[in-house]
Chain A
């Protein structure tokens, strides 16, 4: 399957395996089409999860990971791409409806913009919160002091 995709898209796809789990690192430019192809032609009809990993030291700071599963093939695959801070990424909401909230969470936690998302706003944190907690430069006891003081009326949430 990956070979076929590689033929189709050329060097943008790099198939990898770790501990028996397949994933592919793909170029950001391939993205919406590749996901669409994975769903339509390769039957990855279930998007398990979308998440991101932050590598502050890299030039392209974020790994965005799609975890896919195919019911007919009983197979999992991960699609991984790297983007720089501030770069946006196409939304997959039109491909898998489930990505709506998952993308919102990634946006909430990492500040990654998803183009074409119907309602991209914070989901777990309150709307006015500043900062994206799962970035590595966000300290574990850091908080949006201003928000806490205004909305909760207390000095600090700690």
Chain B
């Protein structure tokens, strides 16, 4: 039994590939846990970052700097009365959030956090991911329909139209990235290495970038970047976030497809939205930004650089801990704030401890892939918040125009040019 557990740690494959069900289960649980933490953190960060962009403080009351706010919100949502409209289609109303949240979570099965840190590696990974994530629209349409009310219905219609249209642009961008896995190009576009075999597997795509010694964002410059841009825009639309948040346009449709949802069901939609954001950002990072690869793997080589880059996870946590201690030191020196200050310091100590653990060599080696992956995804999460603070909302027809008349031709063009450049 113990052998069954430890044998996997020595292998280099994903639990799925190694056929180790126990570790697959552990990984699923870890991803579940990590996603929940990420959504909670994202919730807090979104409020804080948005608040600071908007010259306000954001949550400050529940816990130091509002750190416990997401937890308070979660408790509030869980103990809220569960309201179902009388005229609603009960079964569909009940199933809809489950579909949305399942679709959003399932995609993470194939997300490669590292060469062996994925639940499984499918040879159709990227296809699986796009397919499952677009199942979410089914849940949204069901939610809009089942609510038996005008606003949710319009929100759902908008949502389905929007998601379906942007999926095309998204798919085209993805195909051009997949093409890059097998194409080497010539002249200034020549890239070295690689087997020359095309692949749809998420892990193999990252490996291809490693072997060709370039992130696909920079391959066939500027084709890779354009494809990434197309995907980057489409993924915002796909997840119904500002400036494409029409399905839940607050000022028009009050809350769009989830107007009639409350309490726990609503929180499932919330969870699904943030998971979907994480999922599509993961796709982007995997396809164009080298997934788990650290920056400059081919320029800054050698054991010294390896060591330097492997220290990053620990250093990040130490920096966060330092920031927390700094905040704790700046808390008002009043009796009333004593608990909060201590809590903040304790949180800092926890972060510092994690940082120190991350310096231990075996942990360090296993964790740094995950670290780079998460760091890259975090950049896109920040972008999501930034968009929301800056852009007004598109109108429905303009949204469709952007999808069909701008992104689709660009995506198609990039695909064709990539193919031509690749076989030259």
Q: Do chains A and B touch in the complex (CB under 8 A)?
A: no
